[in-house]
Amino acid sequence: MRYGIGVFTLTAFLLSDVSLSNVYASRSFPKVVPRVTEKKVLWMSGEGSVTLYRSPLITTTPRGTIIVVTEGRKSTGSDTGSKFMAIKRSMDGGYTWTPQDYILDDGYMYKDGLNMGVILVDEEANAIFIVYVMCAHYRDCSVSTTHYMKSIDDGVSWGKSVNMSAQIGTKMFAPGPGYGIQKKYAPHKGRLIVCGHGTIAGDGMFCLLSDDHGNTWRYGGMLKSIPYNQPKKAGDFEPDECQPIELSDGSIVVNIRNQGRYHCQCRIISRSYDGAETFPLEHVYFDTALIEPVCAASTLYHNDVIFFSNPMSTKRINLTLQWSYNNGTTWSGKLPIDPGYSGYSCMAAFQNPLKYGSDIFIVYESGLQKSTAMDSITLIRVQLY
């Protein structure tokens, strides 16, 4: 298997006369010098009786598996309509992949089928969750429900879908899209956190919390739109699709789509110091360095660096990776990923870089045919050192 940290990484550490084990033990990581080393198309629209693939999710597992899940939109490319949940897995660090499999079919009877979604690894329980929403847009349906599926064998098989409505109600909650997190530090170490958004009228960033490995869920902190549960117009405050990360001090930072373009055409940032129980307004700000075209984005905290990927434009083009050494106060560098059409993205890296390497994996909607931002799902490998 082609695991490892690579020649460039080893050379960097040898030149600095610092052993790998000492570096990771002391958390004194070198500066990153990211570069793209591999590009692979995982799905192409029109394959497998699917009109369009969208909203890809990616995660890594403690056992060394990479899992990518995406929506397979059957007959229409719109957000509504019937869908498959498609999956591919890699057990050799992303070099080869299993054939496509469908782990859920929402059924052709639905006019407003499933929408992705969040993938979440519970390292303490050796379980993986996929959380998704049904009837998010109320198209020929009246009740929205949030569900999860669970795997205990590294994504090989999945249990039956569980409707979470009895615990969290039927207010529309669309998870992510992206990944959920398990807290590694106090407060509330081990807590599972899934963040998402509501309807356009009742929009906002909302987080679901579980302190018993996903057996029960409840709402935690939120950042509601203004006005709330009322019609919106351009310029209103509308926190929307979002991605949480946990910093080394135990705080939770959520990077949020600025749906109404309030204040700027840039990202909303919110922070919690109580394990996502609350997101006080005094810890909300707008990051004007993170320009966006009103689109889902991804953020990742890896080796004490925050990474951010999105179409760095006012249009869905120019997917770019940025990084910050000071928790997002300033951004130190940019790496162009794809100058063409691009859309939603999601990032992952292995938690054990000594065993599996420190590469970052970015999966995103790409426009290979140059006519749309989302005719394929593409995987990028980024070498950091």
Q: Which residue is it, tokens 């080869």?
A: 96
Q: Per residue in 219-263, pLDDT tens?
A: 999 999 999 999 999 999 999 999 999 999 999 999 999 999 999
Catalytic residue among 262, 344, 356, 364: 344
Q: Specify whether 344 is catalytic.
A: yes
Q: Is the pTM of this model over 0.85?
A: yes
Question: What residue type is assigned to position 103 of the chain?
Answer: I
Q: Specify whether 285 is catalytic.
A: no
End-to-end CA separation in angstroms for the chain: 20
Query: What CATH number has the domain spanning 6-383?
Result: 2.120.10.10
Catalytic residue among 79, 101, 274, 277: 79
Q: Per residue in 139-159, pLDDT tens?
A: 989 999 999 999 999 999 999
Pick from 206, 241, 204: nearest CA to 225: 204
Angle at 367 between CA 3 and CA 239, to 5 degrees: 85
CA 315/CA 295 separation, integer angstroms: 9
Tokens of 57: 């999710």
Every domain of the chain and the residues it spans? 6-383
SS3 content of the chain, % helix, strand, coil (to 5): 10, 45, 45
Q: Per residue in 10-44, pLDDT tens?
A: 333 333 334 444 545 556 789 999 999 999 999 99
Q: Which residue is it, tokens 């229409």?
A: 76
Catalytic residue among 71, 240, 241, 365: 365
DSSP character for 100? P
CA 168/CA 54 separation, integer angstroms: 26
Q: Specify whether 277 is catalytic.
A: no
